[in-house]
Copies of this chain bind each other. A is one copy, B any other.
């Protein structure tokens, strides 16, 4: 299962890089990296693909990784309830795209397969973070994902959608990071269901990233915006940073297990603003967005 997942995630990376590059008319650079295993031996590695200062994308990073090592005790306990330092292997594809225009939403996707001790599972999801909301885009994004989930089990989408809203939540701001999508973790870890059932689902979700996101980029990249919209985008990007550094499981897991810092923090937006006590004006589009993030909606 591990090597077929590696192949899937690596191909997914390649397909997405090609699609984004064609749209932006700019090439990605490649950074191949190896992970030093602190415990000695082979630690695995990965391939980071980055597009910087593109025509549409201010920064797009698409990572593939396949790493292994010893899992710190604290994480071994948390993940598989073990009182020993366990060996782990993890492979995944992970992307974050920060468009330059505040009218084009930021997107994040991640699919991963983990083996810890004698347990293994899938995790991942994809979610959208608009700065200015176009309802039809939110509907398109959610419906595209739902239709994939529904082919497998009609309980998946509502379950994963709720998990996404719960996961991408900033308690200190009392708002979600964006308008969500799906999120799942530990899929197959504690059940007797054949892992192949889940791998089929994950494969189809990998394929649905392009049809879920790219039509939105194409539709919104020519929208007009000015300084005020840009400024709002930069402030909202600050919330994105807060989520990733304070709460994101993948970021904290990566940093704690000696992952490659540049590939992990590639998720952070290139330009960001914090403004003390920022409040949007009443009844503005900015206020509408924040209202929505406080009350997640059923888009599909």
Contact = CB atoms under 8 A, between A and B. Distances in A.
Interface of A: 31, 50, 52, 59, 61, 171-173, 238, 241-242, 245-246, 252, 255, 261-262, 265-266, 268-277
Interface SS of A by simple majority: mixed
A46 to B, nearest CB: 14
Q: Which of A52, A238, A273, A276 has the most CB of B within 10 A?
A: A276
A256 to B, nearest CB: 9
A253 B29 CA distance: 40
Nearest to A171: B255
Nearest to A51: B276
Rank and list the top 4 A-B pairs by shortest CB-CB distance, nearest first: A245-B245, A268-B274, A272-B272, A172-B255
A265 to B, nearest CB: 7
Given A50-B276, A172-B255, 11 more contacts: A52-B275, A59-B276, A61-B276, A171-B255, A242-B265, A246-B246, A246-B252, A246-B255, A262-B276, A270-B274, A272-B274
Q: Which of A59, A241, A246, A274 has the most CB of B within 10 A?
A: A274
Oligomer: number of copies: 2
B246 A241 contact: no
Contact of A262 (B241, B246, B262, B277): B277
Contacts of A269: 274
A50 B278 CA distance: 13
A268 B246 CA distance: 13
Contacts of A276: 50, 52, 59, 61, 262, 266
Contacts of A273: 270-272
B173 A261 contact: yes
Given A255-B172, A272-B272, A277 B31 contact: yes
A208 B272 CA distance: 33
A61 to B, nearest CB: 7
Contacts of A271: 271-273
Contacts of A262: 276-277
A61 B61 CA distance: 34
A265 B172 CA distance: 10
Contacts of A272: 241, 271-274
